[in-house]
Amino acid sequence: GAVVSQHPSWVICKSGTSVKIECRSLDFQATTMFWYRQFPKQSLMLMATSNEGSKATYEQGVEKDKFLINHASLTLSTLTVTSAHPEDSSFYICSARQGNEKLFFGSGTQLSVL
């Protein structure tokens, strides 16, 4: 099946720094990608919908200036956590939609902010 690569799988950073997470669809073009966040023992929460060539659509309560999303090509979306703080520590997962029906997920990124 289709593969979505997410990198890095884990990252530790100092408070105040920025971290970029990449999500790539390896064998298909994805006009739409999604970014989720998961806290321990809680649901995956949709943060934003990323559309190639246009601005991302953020869910209510998600700070767009904090979580910058860029979807510059049909195979790559990036999530940048700007000025990270310990409360941003979480598990971030991307997914890419193939056509109108199939959704493929990356393996996730564990972010720890010290």
Partner 1 sequence: AQSVAQPEDQVNVAEGNPLTVKCTYSVSGNPYLFWYVQYPNRGLQFLLKYITGDNLVKGSYGFEAEFNKSQTSFHLKKPSALVSDSALYFCAVSPPRGGYNKLIFGAGTRLAVHP
Residue 31's Cβ-side half-sphere holds a number of Cα atoms within 13 Å equal to 3
- Work out how close the CB of 7 gets to partner 1 at its nearest, in angstroms, rounded to a whole number: 12
Single out the residue of 35, 36, 58, 67 in contact with partner 1 (rule: CB under 8 A). Answer: 36
Which residues sit opposite 46 in a β-bridge? 36
The number of residues in the chain equals 114
Check binding of 101 to partner 1 (CB under 8 A): yes
Single out the residue of 15, 107, 112, 114 in contact with partner 1 (rule: CB under 8 A). Answer: 107
Check binding of 108 to partner 1 (CB under 8 A): yes
Kindly state the number of chain residues that form the binding site for partner 1, as judged by CB under 8 A: 24
Check binding of 112 to partner 1 (CB under 8 A): no
Q: Are 94 and 35 in contact (CB under 8 A)?
A: yes
The string of DSSP codes covering 4-27 is EEEE-SEEEE-TT--EEEEEEESS
Rounded to a whole number of angstroms, the CA Rg of the chain reads 13
Instruction: List phi, psi (to 5°) of 88.
Output: -85, -10
Single out the residue of 93, 109, 111, 113 in contact with partner 1 (rule: CB under 8 A). Answer: 93
When the beta carbons of 3 and 114 are compared against partner 1, the nearer one is: 3
> Which residues are near partner 1 by CB under 8 A?
4, 6, 9, 34, 36, 41-46, 49, 93, 95, 97, 100-108
